[in-house]
Amino acid sequence: MPSPQRADRVEEPGRSARKRAAILSAATDVFLKGGYLGTNVDAIAAGSGVSKQTVYKHFGSKEVLFVEIVASMTSTAGDMVVGETSEPDDSTDLAKYLRAYAETQLTVVLTPRLMQLRRLVIGEVSRFPDLAKVLYERGPQRAMTRLTAVFERLATRGLLTVADPSIAASHFNWLIMADPLNRAMLLGDKAIPSPDALRRHVAEAVRVFLAAYATRPAPTRQVKAARRSRRPSGT
Q: Which residues bind a copy of itself (CB under 8 A)?
A: 35, 37, 116, 119-126, 129, 132-133, 135-136, 140, 167, 170-171, 174-175, 177-179, 182-183, 185-188, 204-205, 207-209, 211-213, 217, 220, 223, 226, 230
Q: Rounded to the nearest whole angstrom, what is the least distance from the CB of residue 57 to a copy of itself in the complex?
A: 30
Q: Rounded to the nearest whole angstrom, what is the least distance from the CB of residue 125 to a copy of itself in the complex?
A: 5
The residue among 29 and 57 lying less far from a copy of itself, judged by its C-beta, is 29
The residue among 57 and 63 lying less far from a copy of itself, judged by its C-beta, is 63
Q: Rounded to the nearest whole angstrom, what is the least distance from the CB of residue 232 to a copy of itself in the complex?
A: 16
The residue among 66 and 209 lying less far from a copy of itself, judged by its C-beta, is 209
Distances (CA, A) of 58 to 16, 47, 80, 120, 186: 9, 15, 27, 23, 35
Q: Rounded to the nearest whole angstrom, what is the least distance from the CB of residue 141 to a copy of itself in the complex?
A: 9
The residue among 23 and 181 lying less far from a copy of itself, judged by its C-beta, is 181
DSSP string, the chain: ---HHHHHHSSSHHHHHHHHHHHHHHHHHHHHHHTTTT--HHHHHHHHTS-HHHHHHHHSSHHHHHHHHHHHHHHHHHHH---SSPPPSSGGGHHHHHHHHHHHHHHHH--HHHHHHHHHHHHTTTT-HHHHHHHHIIIIIHHHHHHHHHHHHHHHTTSB--S-HHHHHHHHHHHHHHHHHHHHHHH-GGGSPPHHHHHHHHHHHHHHHHHHHBSSPPPPHHHHHHHHHHSPTT-
Alpha-carbon gap, residue 94 to 203, rounded angstroms: 12
Q: Rounded to the nearest whole angstrom, what is the least distance from the CB of residue 62 to a copy of itself in the complex?
A: 17
Q: Rounded to the nearest whole angstrom, what is the least distance from the CB of residue 195 to a copy of itself in the complex?
A: 18
The residue among 54 and 75 lying less far from a copy of itself, judged by its C-beta, is 75
Alpha-carbon gap, residue 27 to 39, rounded angstroms: 9
Q: Rounded to the nearest whole angstrom, what is the least distance from the CB of residue 142 to a copy of itself in the complex?
A: 13
The residue among 20 and 138 lying less far from a copy of itself, judged by its C-beta, is 138
The residue among 82 and 186 lying less far from a copy of itself, judged by its C-beta, is 186
